[in-house]
Amino acid sequence: MIKTAALYAQEGITVRQIVTAGAAIDNDDPAIAAAIGVSGETFFNLINPDDYAMGAYKLSQRHYPLGTGYLYTQPPEEFLEVVVEGTKSHLSSNYFQRLYDGLVENLPLEYEGIIVPREGSQIDFPTTGGYLLYDYITLDSCRGWQLQQHRLDGHCRIIDPRGIRRASGHRQEMSCAFEKVRDQLDRKAKESEIPPLSIEVIQDVETVPSPTMGGHIWRKQLDEEAGWKHQKNIIDQHCRILDPSDICRAHGREEMMRVSFNRIREQLRGGDHLTGNPAPIQ
């Protein structure tokens, strides 16, 4: 993969990001520096000094491989090594599972305890969210979780708000599984629900709260947080903010609605709450 990325660099081809797991290549191979330059994002190198295959590489080649994390340094915004411990296996699934386990410790509460029905011995696996090459379309979403379908083979998957694939399979099975995820998310939201009227909603144009159909037609969803939605009209490009009951609480220019929605997010995640709306911003 690294040598291919180096060839891409020569041809001026870019990729979104590179993540290597137990990279079996000499740690001073010139292809590494070239590969780092093929993406504007950080090159993540998952390393494991206990990997048995890396040990065999070192013995046979008499050289340290990149996958053991020795002697290769770059600015962390360009190249960052992540130590993955607890296994001797060279299977990439083990690398990513342990990386995911570490990420879960820092996830907010809405990620915890969500059971995703799935068949067989599937594992949680990081993804690019379906945006790489636009190979997935989103069929449904709820509080940052997405049900996606592959454009070519038709298979579906469920990913959480961090882009972690939690289950995959046929559309009917994944649709049923996603409804169970939705039920759990709705229950969690009700348990910790902040009354919508206690949330400060910054205005652009003075808005009288009014019911809507949820924006399923003629609206593109730009953001979502705990049932609140930031939506954009695909015709006139104006935006609005809906509360969890699909009541329009504000509308106006996209930049101001984004500021307002970020303020709502801060409050939902533990900020202060005010009753009523402030005066419109001129």
pLDDT tens-place string over residues 11-55: 999 888 888 888 999 888 899 989 988 988 888 888 887 888 888
Residue in this structure with the two tokens 């065999």, named with its chain if needed: 56
Give the pLDDT of residue 264.
92
CB 102 within 8 A of CB 132: no
Rounded Cα distance, 276 and 253, in Å: 21
* pLDDT at residue 118 greater than cutoff 70: yes
Rounded Cα distance, 249 and 257, in Å: 11
Confidence of residue 271 (pLDDT cuts 50, 70, 90): low
Residue in this structure with the two tokens 């909603």, named with its chain if needed: 201
Are 169 and 181 contained in the same domain?
yes
Phi-psi region of 220 (alpha: psi -120 to 50; beta: other; left: phi over 0): beta
HSE of 127 in the Cβ direction (CA atoms, 13 Å)?
A: 26
Of residues 247, 236, 233, 255, the one with CA closest to residue 277: 247
DSSP state of 133: G
* pLDDT at residue 104 greater than cutoff 70: no
Q: Three-state DSSP class for 166? A: strand
Q: What is the mean pLDDT of residues 243-259?
A: 91
Are 186 and 217 contained in the same domain?
no
- pTM reported for the whole predicted model: 0.39
Are 115 and 102 contained in the same domain?
no
Instruction: Identify whether 280 is part of a domain.
Output: no
Rounded Cα distance, 85 and 68, in Å: 11
Q: Domain limits at 42?
A: 2-106
Higher confidence at residue 91 or residue 108? 91
Identify any residues that bridge with 251 across adjacent strands, giving them in sequence order. 205, 240
Question: In degrees, to the nearest 5, what angle opens at C-alpha 138 toward C-alphas 111 and 167?
Answer: 50
Last residue of a domain, one of 141, 157, 191: 191
Last residue of a domain, one of 85, 106, 127: 106
Backbone angles phi, psi at 70, to 5 degrees: -105, 135
Confidence of residue 232 (pLDDT cuts 50, 70, 90): very high
Give the pLDDT of residue 70.
57
> What does the mean pLDDT of the chain come to?
81
Are 97 and 27 contained in the same domain?
yes
Are 102 and 114 contained in the same domain?
no
Give the pLDDT of residue 8.
93
Rounded Cα distance, 24 and 255, in Å: 47
Are 18 and 79 contained in the same domain?
yes
Identify any residues that bridge with 26 across adjacent strands, giving them in sequence order. 65
CB 280 within 8 A of CB 206: yes
Give the pLDDT of residue 273.
45
Last residue of a domain, one of 170, 191, 212: 191
Higher confidence at residue 69 or residue 254? 254
Rounded Cα distance, 52 and 58, in Å: 10
* pLDDT at residue 278 greater than cutoff 70: no
Are 181 and 127 contained in the same domain?
yes
Count of positions (residues) in the chain: 282
Are 82 and 169 contained in the same domain?
no
Of residues 41, 44, 34, 40, the one with CA closest to residue 9: 34
Higher confidence at residue 94 or residue 17? 17
Measured CA distances, 254 to 118, 233, 250, 259, 276 (Å): 39, 10, 11, 9, 22
Give the pLDDT of residue 225.
87
Instruction: Identify whether 163 is part of a domain.
Output: yes
Give the pLDDT of residue 258.
94
Confidence of residue 6 (pLDDT cuts 50, 70, 90): very high
Are 20 and 102 contained in the same domain?
yes
Give the pLDDT of residue 275.
39
Q: What is the mean pLDDT of residues 4-17?
A: 90
CB 221 within 8 A of CB 231: yes
Q: What is the mean pLDDT of residues 221-238?
A: 89
Are 17 and 94 contained in the same domain?
yes
Q: What is the mean pLDDT of residues 243-271?
A: 89
Q: What is the mean pLDDT of residues 137-144?
A: 86
* pLDDT at residue 277 greater than cutoff 60: no
Tally of structural domains, the chain: 3
Confidence of residue 82 (pLDDT cuts 50, 70, 90): confident
H/E run at residue 175: helix 171-191
Give the pLDDT of residue 282.
36
Rounded Cα distance, 186 and 182, in Å: 6
